[in-house]
């Protein structure tokens, strides 16, 4: 009985953090019923995650931009434009993949740096500066694809980023071995870090959940990780896209939660005036966040181009709004200072799940937009309500 009360209390105080996970699970189960079991099939989940990839990496970047109280509208067409450049470098100049990808990422950082310069040094509002970028990169895509139209990318190594899967090494009962190993390692890593974190907290006499609840938590999360691994291993295993998302999440999660730079980013977002008076260089942080945004836009462009195996004239259209929506669904606060990397990625997966599920059900495009809009509004309403409750 005590544990149930504790669980209830835990849910209540952490509802903001848990809210979107619960929402995601509810949405998935609903689709599972509505599509008669089609939704949670190995093939569909694998497809869903791949289709969320290029928005998820953008969402992580734009989440940080929103945390420091700015916005970036240029990221969609920047991704599209850099994807086109990648295609041109691969096909027309015949450069190898391992040279093209670093070039594109560096170009992305430069583009982000320009935005950062305009916002941090010149003092142009980010909305206007990046709206200008939106127009410029849109023109740039058209210019880049003017002569050729859609550029077909005929490079297997590059296309694998968007369509390929990690090698399986060996199959175990029809399941991919390497994927299983990665999944198992992930679960072990999760359990290890959760336990050491808890030990630390106990050592410094911080409040921790009781042991049975903690074990329950471990089992629940491990089970979900195992289930997803099993699902993916049953199809083609982990795709390269999923591996890239996991990598981005891992790196950004680490930077935002463990490093000095991360602390400074949240300080600037939470109170720029106080950050300045604490000796934090606010413009440097602004630069950095926009630079990272540019790099992630480049990565998004690579993922999308590889997935389509071509660079189109309209690539990147509305990516920025999907990414911003994902960040807000993932719990970033418009007032700045609050937002999580994991939240942004989950937000992107929620949005992709809605699209995917409704597509399976044959829902028309018009209601799809409306439902996604409704979910976005609900997520933010939920966010505002729970914050009021706390205050």
Partner 1 sequence: MSDYILEMNQISKEFTGVKALSNVNFKVERGEIHFLVGENGAGKSTLMKVLSGVYPYGAYSGDIVFNGEVQQFNKISDSVDVGIAIIYQELALFPDLSVYENIFAGNEIQNKGKIDWNKAIVDAKVMLNKVGLKVNPETLIKDLGVGKQQLIEIAKALSKEVKLLILDEPTAALNEDDSENLLQLLLELKKQGITSIMISHKLKEVIAIADKATVIRDGETICTLNSSKGEITEANIIRNMVGREIEDIYPKRPKKQLGENVLELTNWTAYDPKLGRNVAANVNMHVKQGEIVGIAGLMGSGRTELALSIFGNAKNYKIQGDLMLEGQLTKFKHTSDAIKAGIAYVTEDRKGDGLFLLQDIKSNISIGNLKELSATGVVDENKEIVIAQGYRESLGIKTPTLLQLVGNLSGGNQQKVSLGKWLFVGPKLLILDEPTRGIDVGAKFEIYSVMNELINKGMSIIMISSELGEVLGMSDRVYVMAEGEIKGELSSEEANQEKIMQLATQ
Per CB under 8 A, residues contacting partner 1 are 200, 204, 206-207, 258-261, 263-264, 266-267, 270-271, 273-281, 337-338
In angstroms, what is the minimal distance from the CB of 220 to partner 1? 23
Give the Cβ contact number of residue 353 at 10 Å.
23
Distance CA 326, CA 345 (A): 8
- DSSP, collapsed to helix, strand or coil, labels residue 228 as helix
Beta strand 151-152 with 310-311 is antiparallel
DSSP string across 276-325: HHTT--HHHHHHHHHHHHHHHHHHHHHHHHHHHTEE-TTTTTTHHHHHHH
- DSSP, collapsed to helix, strand or coil, labels residue 165 as strand
- From residue 193, alpha-carbon distances to 181, 183, 190, 198, 248 in Å are 18, 15, 5, 8, 19
Location of structure tokens 């100049």: 93
Which residues are paired to 171 by β-bridges?
176
Q: Which is nearer to partner 1, 323 or 338 (CB)?
A: 338
In angstroms, what is the minimal distance from the CB of 177 to partner 1? 34
Q: Which is nearer to partner 1, 43 or 387 (CB)?
A: 387
Q: Which is nearer to partner 1, 92 or 200 (CB)?
A: 200
In angstroms, what is the minimal distance from the CB of 108 to partner 1? 23
Strand (E) or helix (H) holding 175: strand 175-176
In angstroms, what is the minimal distance from the CB of 336 to partner 1? 9
In angstroms, what is the minimal distance from the CB of 185 to partner 1? 22
In angstroms, what is the minimal distance from the CB of 235 to partner 1? 37
In angstroms, what is the minimal distance from the CB of 275 to partner 1? 8
Which residues are paired to 175 by β-bridges?
172
What are 210's two structure tokens? 């009781």
Q: Which is nearer to partner 1, 80 or 337 (CB)?
A: 337
Location of structure tokens 């240029």: 74
Q: Which is nearer to partner 1, 64 or 306 (CB)?
A: 64
How far is Cα of residue 162 from the mean position of the Cα atoms in its chain? 15
Q: Which is nearer to partner 1, 87 or 338 (CB)?
A: 338
Fill in the DSSP letter of residue 118. I
Distance CA 103, CA 95 (A): 11
- From residue 74, alpha-carbon distances to 114, 134, 249, 252, 374 in Å are 12, 4, 22, 21, 24
Strand (E) or helix (H) holding 172: strand 171-172
- Contact by Cβ (8 Å): 377, 10: no
Q: Which is nearer to partner 1, 12 or 263 (CB)?
A: 263
Q: Which is nearer to partner 1, 198 or 276 (CB)?
A: 276
In angstroms, what is the minimal distance from the CB of 172 to partner 1? 37
In angstroms, what is the minimal distance from the CB of 101 to partner 1? 25
Give the Cβ contact number of residue 220 at 10 Å.
10
- Contact by Cβ (8 Å): 42, 176: no
Q: Which is nearer to partner 1, 63 or 275 (CB)?
A: 275
Q: Which is nearer to partner 1, 176 or 264 (CB)?
A: 264
- Contact by Cβ (8 Å): 344, 67: no
What are 144's two structure tokens? 């880049």
In angstroms, what is the minimal distance from the CB of 16 to partner 1? 12
């Amino acid at each position: 009985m005590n544990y149930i009360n504790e669980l209830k209390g835990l849910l209540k105080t952490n509802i903001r953090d848990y809210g979107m996970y619960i929402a995601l699970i509810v949405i998935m189960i609903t689709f599972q019923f509505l599509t008669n079991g089609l939704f949670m099939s190995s093939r569909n989940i694998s497809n869903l995650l791949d289709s969320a990839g290029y928005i998820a990496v953008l969402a992580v970047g734009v989440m940080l931009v929103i945390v420091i109280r700015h916005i970036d509208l240029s990221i969609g067409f920047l991704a599209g434009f850099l994807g086109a450049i990648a295609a041109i470098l691969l096909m027309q100049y015949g450069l190898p993949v391992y040279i093209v990808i670093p070039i594109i990422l560096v170009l992305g950082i430069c583009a982000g740096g320009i935005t950062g310069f305009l916002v941090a040094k010149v003092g142009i509002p980010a909305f206007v500066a990046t709206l200008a970028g939106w127009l410029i990169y849109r023109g740039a895509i058209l210019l880049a694809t003017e002569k050729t139209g859609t550029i077909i990318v005929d490079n297997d190594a590059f296309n694998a980023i968007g369509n390929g899967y990690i090698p399986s090494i060996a199959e175990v009962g029809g399941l991919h071995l390497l994927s299983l190993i990665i999944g198992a390692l992930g679960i072990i890593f999760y359990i290890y870090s959760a336990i050491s974190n808890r030990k630390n907290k106990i050592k410094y006499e911080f409040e921790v959940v009781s042991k049975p609840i903690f074990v329950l938590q471990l089992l629940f999360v491990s089970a979900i990780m195992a289930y997803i691994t099993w699902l993916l291993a049953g199809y083609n295993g982990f795709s390269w896209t999923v591996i890239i998302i996991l990598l981005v999440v891992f790196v950004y999660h680490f930077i935002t939660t463990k490093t000095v730079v991360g602390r400074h980013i949240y300080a600037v977002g939470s109170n720029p005036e106080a950050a300045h008076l604490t000796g934090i260089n606010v413009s440097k942080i602004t630069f950095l966040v926009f630079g990272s945004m540019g790099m992630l836009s480049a990565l998004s462009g690579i993922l999308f181009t590889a997935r389509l195996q071509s660079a189109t004239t309209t690539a990147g259209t509305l990516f920025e709004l999907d990414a911003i929506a994902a960040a807000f669904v993932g719990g970033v606060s418009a007032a700045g200072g609050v937002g999580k990397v994991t939240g942004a990625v989950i937000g992107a997966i929620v949005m992709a799940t809605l699209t995917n599920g409704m597509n399976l059900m044959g829902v028309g495009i018009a209601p799809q937009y409306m439902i996604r809009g409704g979910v976005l509004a609900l997520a933010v309403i939920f966010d505002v309500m729970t914050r009021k409750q706390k205050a």
